[in-house]
Amino acid sequence: MINIPKGTKDVLPQDAYKWHFIEDAARQTAAEFNLKEIRTPVFEHTELFLRGVGDTTDIVNKEMYTFKDKGDRSITLKPEGTAGVARSFLENGMSSGVLPAKMYYIIPAFRYERPQAGRLREFHQFGIEVYGSDKPDADAEVIFAASSFLNKLGVKNVKLNINSIGCKKCRADYNAALKGYLAPHIGEMCATCRERYEKNPLRILDCKEEECKKITAGAPRMTDYLCSDCAQHFNEVQSNLAAGGLEYEVDPNIVRGLDYYTRTVFEFVSQEIGAQGTVCGGGRYDGLIEELGGSHTPAVGFAAGIERLILLMENTGVPFPEESKPEVYFAGMDEESRKKAFALAMAARAQGIAAETDHMGRSVKAQFKYADKIGAKYVAAIGGNELAEGAVNVKRMADGFVQNVRFEDINGYIVQNRS
């Protein structure tokens, strides 16, 4: 027996409807916000992520699925969606097209992490990306899109936390202040944070180790160091959120610790799914396109983790709408009527009706049982008499109501009685 790789999961046929529900809500949100789908490859040149995600991040340092292909190129399975979209934006000259470029994706992503509840090695994201606007309205719209998506799912008690991590200019001052504050505690910090202290101190605020959390609790706040432009931007994002009636809290510990992430960062967090509570994370990355060799192009977006959302819905008893069931089941009593049942099922399908019939050689009684099990709305059992008369009793399974219908009228009958 060959087992599934660690940290991956099958979506079994009986569970796929949960995914469809979430994907439908994602596409519906995208339509409402005029976001168009972009599909980029599952793998990219490793270099893209070194530059597009950043070589001081956990993703790049520890989590990437990187390998040499047969042509000796270094290839990486995408650990997130933004870098590929940014590459495509540049490669396809979108900056000279219609701006803002508003896009979304639903993708698998790959990270070599320690698997636990809500943390997998292959997981899935719904993400959106808006390129070309540096206005706070764009930040707010992206946050509203995330909120609208979560509302469609019916999840409750998901908190919105926001922060601003400023721009290159004001962050330099902040980094100096932060390092000054942390210096006496270097010895108490985890090994990763000691490294971060040199390379990317902001990232220490994001550490999940208890000891580091204690230290950073009293750290200076980025929001106290924002330059006047960044402070104004942050204020306007907040007034946009408030104007739209969205509740939020400013959490100075949310960071996106890359040079080209700027200003707004945000997270939607739930307390209901354990330590991996962030169901959606996003922010502004005005420096990314330049980092990848393009001209200055402000951008903002988010990514939501689909597995965590399913977990949240399951844990809190939020119902998933049920999948559609077969509308009609045609049973056959003998060989000839089975052929008729098969033909009627095919004719129904040709009219867009979900129909089923027997392929297991079951008795009529067992076929009724099976039809009930798969949730068929109507059952029509055909035998010698029915063949002779050209009509069959069509039984509504919910209440046993029976109507005799001519074969040629069955499709019309089912369509007419759709609820």
Which C-beta is closer to ligand ATP: that of 109 or that of 237? Answer: 109
Compute the least distance from the CB of residue 230 to ligand ATP, in Å. Answer: 21
- DSSP letter for 8, please: -
Q: 92 Cβ partners below 8 Å, 6+ apart?
A: none
Which C-beta is closer to ligand ATP: that of 85 or that of 345? Answer: 85
Least Cα distance to 308 among 147, 151, 150 occurs for 150
Which C-beta is closer to ligand ATP: that of 10 or that of 69? Answer: 10
Compute the least distance from the CB of residue 53 to ligand ATP, in Å. Answer: 9
CB 30 within 8 A of CB 104: yes
Instruction: Give the start-end residues of each E strand in 132-189.
Output: 158-164
Ordered alpha helix ranges (H), 101-190: 136-153, 168-182
Q: Which single residue is written with the structure tokens 């959120």? A: 241
Q: CA–CA separation, 419 vs 414, rounded Å?
A: 10
Q: How far is CA 79 from CA 72, 92, 203, 295, 300, in A?
A: 21, 22, 18, 25, 18
Compute the least distance from the CB of residue 122 to ligand ATP, in Å. Answer: 8
Which C-beta is closer to ligand ATP: that of 84 or that of 332? Answer: 84
Q: CA–CA separation, 166 vs 158, rounded Å?
A: 25
Which C-beta is closer to ligand ATP: that of 119 or that of 152? Answer: 119
Give the residues across from 285 on adjacent strands: none
The answer to whether 113 contacts ligand ATP (rule: CB under 6 A) is yes
Both tokens assigned to 322:
């049920």
The answer to whether 136 contacts ligand ATP (rule: CB under 6 A) is no
Amino acid at 297: T
Q: CA–CA separation, 377 vs 237, rounded Å?
A: 51
Compute the least distance from the CB of residue 206 to ligand ATP, in Å. Answer: 7
The answer to whether 279 contacts ligand ATP (rule: CB under 6 A) is yes
Q: Which of 84, 281, 294, 332 binds ligand ATP (CB under 6 A)?
A: 281
Bond preceding residue 100 cis, omega within 30 of 0: yes
Which C-beta is closer to ligand ATP: that of 79 or that of 132? Answer: 79
Which C-beta is closer to ligand ATP: that of 136 or that of 281? Answer: 281
Residue count, binding to ligand ATP (CB under 6 A): 18
The answer to whether 215 contacts ligand ATP (rule: CB under 6 A) is no
Q: CA–CA separation, 132 vs 168, rounded Å?
A: 19
The answer to whether 80 contacts ligand ATP (rule: CB under 6 A) is yes
Compute the least distance from the CB of residue 150 to ligand ATP, in Å. Answer: 12
Which C-beta is closer to ligand ATP: that of 150 or that of 279? Answer: 279
**Per-residue x/- track, 289-318, ligand ATP (CB under 6 A):** --------------xxx-xx----------
User: Of all residues in this chain, which one has the CB nearest to ligand ATP in the complex?
Assistant: 305
Compute the least distance from the CB of residue 180 to ligand ATP, in Å. Answer: 26
**Exposed / middle / buried, residue 187 (Cβ in 10 Å: 0-12, 13-18, 19+):** exposed
Which C-beta is closer to ligand ATP: that of 52 or that of 281? Answer: 281
What residues between 219 and 278 interact with ligand ATP by CB under 6 A? Answer: 276, 278
Compute the least distance from the CB of residue 407 to ligand ATP, in Å. Answer: 51
**What's the number of CA atoms in the CB half-sphere (13 Å) around residue 50?**
6
**What's the number of CA atoms in the CB half-sphere (13 Å) around residue 115?**
11
Compute the least distance from the CB of residue 303 to ligand ATP, in Å. Answer: 4
CB atoms inside a 10 Å sphere around CB 280:
25
Q: Contact residues for ligand ATP (CB under 6 A)?
A: 80, 111, 113, 118-120, 123, 125, 276, 278-281, 303-305, 307-308
